[in-house]
Every structure is written in structure tokens, then in C-alpha cells.
Amino acid sequence: MKTFIYVRNRMARFFSKSDIDEFKECFSFYARQRHIVNVEELKIIMRSLGYSPTIVELQTYYKKYQKEGKIDFATFLDIMHEHSQNEKCQEELVAAFQSHDIQRRGYVNASEVKNILTQFGEKLNKREVDALFREAKIQPNGQVKYADFIKTLLTPAPDY
């Protein structure tokens, strides 16, 4: 209990009490040994909390923060703080879509989104884009309401 109070006080300047409680609940659920013991556990916990670290970022965090192959909750909060300073996922996606929404209607052409997803960054193949469009209920030749599409993109996939 003393450790948790210390952790809460130390991180209170970065996260709200409700954030810390949410992190603790998720950490306790997935870190069955009360420690994160591998990169996969770190990935599941962070993505379950709505963050989107890359595999390289996860490996870097694990290597940097693990002690004897383990990451405790206090250290996990340090990782979350570091990552939250770097990840501005939603803002970046909105800005990217707005750059293609010249008339500022909140919509872009699905064909344009498909082209971007298959040609730039971490490229998706046609099948992956089609699956993403199905999940977001987007017609291949229709319009994409990007606020809703971003919400779909940032919702963690169930791991069952």
C-alpha cells in the first residue's frame, strides 16, 4: 500500500487520480505476476488504454525500464508519462485529414483515404483497407466522415 501511495503522489503531477486508477486496473488485469515480464504484455496494456505505441517504441521502453526482466506499476507510469509526451495520435490524424478537406466539411473521399493508406507511411494492403472500411461502415466510393473514422482507428481491437 505504501508503494501505491508513493506512486500516486509521484505521478499526480502528470496524471489525474482517475487516470492512475484506470492504469492500475488495466495493469493489474494483464500483468498477472504483478509485473510486466515481456514486450507483448506491455503492448497489450498500453493499447488497451488507448495508446498506439509502435513495436520499436515498445521494445525501447522495455529495454530502458525493465529491471531483472520486470516492470512494476510505478515504472509503468514512467513509461506512460514518457509515451504520452510523444503521442498525439488523434491530433495528428485530424490534422492529416483536414489537409485533404479543403472545404472543411468534415468529410474526405474514400478513394483518397484508400490511396493514402496504401501508398504512405506504414502501408496497408488492399485487403486490410477493405476490412478497415467494412469495420468503419465506409462505402469504397463514398465519403469518409473523418471524426468517426479516427474514432474507429483509435479504438483498440479486442484481443480475444
Residue 39 covered by a domain: yes
**What would the pLDDT profile of 86-101 be if each residue is shown by its tens digit?**
777 777 788 888 988 9
96-110, 113-127, 145-159: the lowest-pLDDT one: 145-159
pLDDT at 157: 58
Q: What is the mean pLDDT of the chain?
A: 84
Give me the number of domains the chain comprises. 2
End-of-domain residue from the set 36, 54, 87: 87
Q: Which residues pair with 109 in a beta bridge?
A: 143
Residue 70 covered by a domain: yes
- The domain containing residue 26 runs over which residues? 16-87
Angular region, 68: left φ>0, alpha ψ -120 to 50, beta rest: left
* Nearest-angstrom CA–CA distance, 38 and 81: 19
Name residue 13's amino acid: R
Residues 77 and 118 in one domain: no
Q: Going along the chain, which residue ranges are E strands?
A: 107-109, 143-145
Residue 156 has pLDDT above 70, yes or no: no
* Nearest-angstrom CA–CA distance, 12 and 10: 6
